Amino acid sequence: MLVQEIVNTLVQALVVLALAGIAYAFAGKRRGKFRAFTGLYLPPSRSWLTTGAAALVLIPLSLALVWFTPLKDTAAADNTITGMLAAKGFSAEIVAVILLIALVKTSFTEELFFRGLLAKRLIVWLGMPVGNTLHAALFGAIHLIIFVAPGGPDFSVPLAAGIFLIPAIGGWVMAWLNETVGDGSVLPGWFVHALTNLLAYPLLAFG
């Protein structure tokens, strides 16, 4: 399982990096350096205090909204990452898989695409309030695919609202951290996203 996840993660990361390269190539003279275009650079050290404070609020709130609501059953269903982990059982290999998926596959690649490419472009074109809100809505909406995925839950408005709003709000906060606190770096958002997944996956799979 670990070998397959390493391959899957590498392929996903390469695809997102390729998309970033294509977008960069079409950006013309305004693109600057690739790392600036995508946010792949270190933020100022002062940003970590605000990022840590945001994580202390956002992560427990997100986990509580999932754990104490019907979202828990959906998040731990058989066709989800946590459902897959639960089916395999706890082991050293599963710990390695959790680290790989949480830190890279579902955080680095999503942050690079949604915050490093999509949010940045929308914020440049439309300004922070509109651009960030539109990006966050798209980030939340992509999670609604679970309703049409094989083995997905039956649609209901409250469930759909929760599945949409939690990532949408999280995405908005992460992009705001990146652009206003991290001087455009995607690392603050990556830190919050990765830590959230790192806590959520074992909690939902084995809690």
For the record, the structure tokens of 182 come out as: 């991290």
Confidence of residue 29 (pLDDT cuts 50, 70, 90): low
For residue 135, what pLDDT is reported? 98
Average pLDDT over residues 51-69: 96
Count other C-beta atoms under 10 Å from residue 14's C-beta.
11
Over residues 178-193, mean pLDDT: 97
Q: For 127-137, what is the mean pLDDT?
A: 98
- Give the whole-number percent of the chain exceeding pLDDT 90: 88
The amino acid sitting at 150 is P
Rounded CA gap, 144 and 169, in Å? 15
Residue-wise pLDDT tens digits, 156-181:
999 999 999 999 999 999 999 999 99
Residue 149: pLDDT over 90: no
* pLDDT (tens digit per residue) in 72-109: 999 988 889 999 999 999 999 999 999 999 999 999 99
Buried b (16+ CB within 10 A) or exposed e, 68-83: eeebbebbbbeebbbb
**What Rg, from alpha-carbon coordinates, does the chain have?**
17
**Element (H or E) spanning 206, and its range?**
helix 187-206
pLDDT for position 151? 82
With 0-12 CB in 10 A as exposed, 13-18 as middle and 19+ as buried, what is 29? Answer: exposed
pLDDT the model gives residue 27 = 82
pTM for this structure?
0.94
If pLDDT is split at 50, 70 and 90, which confidence band does 28 have? low
Neighbours of 54 (CB within 10 A): 20
Distances (CA, A) of 76 to 19, 43, 63, 83: 31, 34, 13, 5
Q: Quick check: helix, strand or coil at residue 135?
A: helix
| Whole-angstrom distance, CA of residue 171 vs CA of residue 162 | 14
* pLDDT of res. 205: 94
Q: What is the pLDDT of residue 190?
A: 98
Domain range annotation of the chain: 2-206
Q: What percent of the chain has pLDDT over 70?
A: 98
